[in-house]
Amino acid sequence: MDKQSYDVIVLGGGPAGLTAGIYLSRAKMKTLILNLGTMGGQMVLTHEIANYPGIESIAGFQLSRNMKAQAQSFGAEIKSNIKITGMDISGPKKVIEVNDKEKYSAKAVILAPGGRSRMLHVPGEEDLKGRGISYCATCDGDFFQDKKVVVVGGGNSALEEAVSLTKYASELIIIHQFDHFQAFEHAVNEVKKNPKIKIIFETEIIEFLGDQKLEKIKYKNQRTKEINEMNVDGAFILIGYVPNTENLKGIVGLNKTNEIVTNELMETNVAGVFAAGDARAKRFRQITTAVSDGTIAALGAIEYLNN
């Protein structure tokens, strides 16, 4: 077999893609995992994972490293920090072009591109990104020791990260556009009982202000339309993420929010093409759901090839 040809190519090296790689390579399928950036996806941004079955607590980067090593131990080939520049996966032979030069082919493909942080897209955000504005509390929290910070968001991740930030910040304000949180009760209770946290509902940030770094925010009450400013040292925007599916439009079926549409077997509308992880259209997104997707997609791909 040509070294550029594989049984299955997995696009994405997060928990879904790595799990698929583990199952495929252990089943003696010649497997290639292609990943655009650092292995682990969103998982590596998590300081502590305490709800992964069988593991009391582990850092996200360590769990990612473990999964990668396990996939490689079974024979999976991994290429990271690459750019996918072409793709033809409509026929029985799937071809992926990388870095405008290398081409890899396979009989089946698993799409696991994951997602990226969602931005507010308000004035000043782009200019001050990385200079007071962050999208990862576990990555940048320690830069705000004894500082005043705001957290934007009202979901589980936003509230959990807000609580973790109180280890560093002297004062923390959660700004949420609705009049209630979209989070589990335990996460809401943790926020409400923390004396460092103040909550501002029905409010949105309309501008970030600062010269060399973030100095203040301009925010608007959605009910009264009143506009105010607040001096802050940092802002963490934790409002979810968007799927990395821009290069999949017209190739596989996507929904109106550009998530990959699959059935319960992770099959897309293209024969031999499966999808898994956070880029797939589904209700819940956790490491465990990504791992589940990766398992099902791999088993589906194996069955597809055996048939």
Same domain, 103 and 149: no
- Cross-strand pairs, 220: 204, 227
Same domain, 193 and 59: no
Task: Name the catalytic one among 2, 100, 127, 139.
Answer: 139
- Per-residue pLDDT band at 3 (split at 50, 70, 90): low
Domain finish residue from 237, 257, 274: 237
Same domain, 141 and 74: no
Check residue 113 and give its pLDDT. 96
The radius of gyration of the chain from alpha carbons, rounded to an integer in Å, stands at 21
Percent of the chain with pLDDT over 70: 98
Q: At what angle do helices 60-73 and 15-26 cross, to 10 degrees?
A: 20
Same domain, 193 and 281: no
Task: Name the catalytic one among 140, 233, 278, 293.
Answer: 140
Same domain, 55 and 111: yes
Q: Is 139 a known active-site residue?
A: yes
Domain finish residue from 237, 269, 285: 237
Helices (H), 166-249: 185-192
Q: Is 136 a known active-site residue?
A: yes
Task: Fill in the DSSP letter of residue 259.
Answer: P
What's the pLDDT tens digit per position in 31-67? 999 999 889 998 887 767 878 999 998 988 999 999 9
Domain finish residue from 198, 222, 237: 237
Same domain, 78 and 166: no
Contact 17, 301 (CB under 8 A): no
Same domain, 129 and 177: yes
Task: Fill in the DSSP letter of residue 144.
Answer: G
Give the pLDDT mean for 125-133. Answer: 93
| CATH code for the domain in which residue 46 is found | 3.50.50.60
Q: Which residues contact 88 (CB under 8 A, 6 or more apart)?
A: 94, 95
Same domain, 184 and 90: no
Asked if the model's pLDDT at residue 2 lies above 70, the reply is no
Q: Is 127 a known active-site residue?
A: no
Same domain, 124 and 223: yes
Which range of residues forms the domain containing residue 44?
A: 5-116+241-306
What's the pLDDT tens digit per position in 169-219? 999 999 999 999 999 999 999 999 999 999 999 999 999 999 999 999 999
Give the pLDDT mean for 148-164. Answer: 95
When divided into structural domains, the chain yields a total of 2
**What span, in angstroms and rounded, lies between the C-alpha atoms of 106 and 275?**
15
Same domain, 26 and 71: yes
Task: Name the catalytic one among 88, 100, 136, 146.
Answer: 136
Average pLDDT of the chain?
A: 94
Contact 104, 32 (CB under 8 A): yes
Same domain, 125 and 231: yes
| Residue in 112, 89, 107, 71 with CA at minimum distance from that of residue 306 | 107
**What span, in angstroms and rounded, lies between the C-alpha atoms of 198 and 162?**
10
Give the pLDDT mean for 150-170. Answer: 95
Check residue 1 and give its pLDDT. 41
Same domain, 84 and 138: no
| Identity of the amino acid at 99 | N
Token pair belonging to 285:
């997104």
What's the pLDDT tens digit per position in 235-291? 999 998 899 999 999 999 999 999 999 999 999 999 999 999 999 999 888 899 999
